[in-house]
Amino acid sequence: MLSEAEEKSLERSDLIIEGNTATWDLRLDGDIHGTYTGAFRFKCYLSPLQQIAADRERRELLGNQPLYASDHESFLAYALTQLKYRIVTAPPFWASSNPATLAGDIADENVIAAVLDAALGAEIKYKSQLKKKKLDAIARAKASTEKLMTDGDDEDEDEDESESQEG
């Protein structure tokens, strides 16, 4: 059975899952620089090594004392490093002109948050779809098994009746 969050993720029509990637179209007004538009393509999951690399970079961004970073700084570091590994293609505004900085180094943090939400939503939707397919396959297998069992019982009864009539 799918959880409520999983059911809700399946209803997200803004995320189109194709294989193990998702496409999402952004149109959002930034708090500082106007309207952002463009299509993103995300990986629907990260490998274990990608997860570790993203977290290592997050800690590096926060410096020697990551525990002293504000919640806001921690969120931005998490968002940008996750997106570095999750984004396959992005609109031109997302690219960094400075190779020393991460892509997504834009002034409008609400846009960064929206992109992260979509990327994480893609993973949830992808995994929910897989879970639903598995549950549906199990339900079909159970139904087939039950049908075979009841059909087999009917045949046994028919055989029992024919034997008793012969005797």
**Does residue 167 fall inside a structural domain?**
no
**Does residue 137 fall inside a structural domain?**
no
Q: What is the pLDDT of residues 2-56, one digit of tens each?
A: 778 777 777 889 999 999 999 999 999 999 999 999 999 999 999 999 999 999 9
**Does residue 24 fall inside a structural domain?**
yes
**Does residue 161 fall inside a structural domain?**
no
Within 10 A of 81 (CB to CB), how many other CB atoms are there? Answer: 21
CA distance 90 to 101: 16
**DSSP assignment letter at 94:** G
Domain count, the chain: 1
**Does residue 147 fall inside a structural domain?**
no
**3 state DSSP class of 26:** strand
Least confident of 1-5, 76-80, 88-92, 137-141: 1-5
Host domain of residue 41: 4-132
**Does residue 35 fall inside a structural domain?**
yes
The mean pLDDT of 61-69, rounded to a whole number, is 88
**Does residue 166 fall inside a structural domain?**
no
Instruction: Categorise residue 38: left if φ over 0, alpha if ψ from -120 to 50, beta otherwise.
Output: left
Q: What is the pLDDT of residues 128-148, one digit of tens each?
A: 999 989 998 998 998 888 888
**Does residue 66 fall inside a structural domain?**
yes
Q: Which residues contact 83 (CB under 8 A, 6 or more apart)?
A: 103, 104, 112, 115, 116, 119
Tell me which of 11 and 81 has the higher pLDDT: 81
142 token code pair: 């159970």
pLDDT of residue 66: 82
